[in-house]
Structure 1
């Protein structure tokens, strides 16, 4: 099982400029996502691996935490410092934190 962080720990990292991968599908991402999150759909995660910044912790987020757990585990197995965000985007929204809509700032 992948390592996991709570929304408060993630929020502090996000404020400090963390690398965030959103592993939901593009239609979900366009509906609402954490600002600055890079789209890397679970269905195409392997293709995104070469573009993930090296030497930085990667925070992986999805809708609720299941897909991000799986993806963070795969990233960790590939040698990356990857953490799954517990509660996901739904939890982020539920705590009143900001989201944006529309296209990716740049897919990873």
Structure 2
């Protein structure tokens, strides 16, 4: 199983190494292991979780809410008090495009 050091994860995802360490400290994202030299290493499962965290952060959800949602994928989303918006507008056009693609399928050009 491939593993990536915190430096590479930070560079590829745009999340600072400090933020990754904070996520570890609060129990939101733990590295797959810490090497003898102290380097934090992340595997596929951790990167998948990180991308779920980033998706929820793009909706401007607080970390505590994200943690509740990710604790149990089967029931976590139902137990979260999601913010309600009148006339909800997607915060990022790319996210809205992704949702449209996911629900309707890709468009052919």
TM-score of the pair, normalised by structure 2: 0.21
Question: Looking at both structures, which has the greater relative contact order when contacts are Cα pairs under 8 Å and sequence separation is at least 6?
Answer: 1
TM-score of the pair, normalised by structure 1: 0.21
Q: Which has the larger radius of gyration?
A: 2
Greater fraction of residues in helix = 2
Greater fraction of residues in strand = 1
